[in-house]
Amino acid sequence: MAQPRIGQTVVVDVPATTANIGPGFDCLGAALDLNNRFTMRRIEGHGERFELIIEGQEGSHLRGGAENLVYRAAQRVWKAAGEEPVALEARVRLAVPPARGLGSSATAIVAGLVGANALVGEPLSRERLLELAIDIEGHPDNVVPSLLGGPLHDSQGRLSTLAGCAL
């Protein structure tokens, strides 16, 4: 593993989700055909620096800084991988509207995890990223389909796809 060079960039597309399907409160979710695109770039500065650029009408209230979910998720990856945090810029093409029940916070968490992991050479497995995502979000129904795609069910930490499920 190596620190990413200044200017190194990764692009992460993360789908919107629908959750709490039928009786599956906090455990059933499905990815939708609507994505936020996160372009994450290593910038100059210390690990506390995080800049957020939103492209879209809905995200004018979103801010960078230490409380941002993309940044917090990236920090979790670097800590788990034993890496020093780096300064980041996230440019987000926002298609998933915030606060509308489509998992916009899950898109931010998954983008931060996947993007930070890619920037340092992918030391964490998809399973470890999933554990981190669920820990950050507090429940699996949105982050699981955002990370893995498709309709999914999480029951006591055991994932299964819902093959043939028409949503």
Domains of the chain, residue spans: 9-149
* Amino acid in position 30: A
pLDDT lower than 70: segments of the chain: 1, 20-28, 59-65, 150-167
Residue 10 near residue 94 (C-beta atoms within 8 A): no
Per residue in 114-150, pLDDT (tens digit) is: 999 999 999 999 999 999 999 999 878 788 888 987 5
Distance CA 141, CA 26 (A): 5
Which CATH number is 9-149's, of 3.30.230.10, 3.30.1600.10, 3.20.20.140, 3.30.70.980?
A: 3.30.230.10
Distance CA 3, CA 159 (A): 32
Three-state DSSP class for 142?
A: coil
Structure tokens at 31: 């990815």
The label of the residue with tokens 């498709």 reads 150
Which pLDDT score is estimated for 152?
Answer: 47
Which pLDDT score is estimated for 57?
Answer: 74
Which pLDDT score is estimated for 68?
Answer: 87
Which pLDDT score is estimated for 54?
Answer: 85
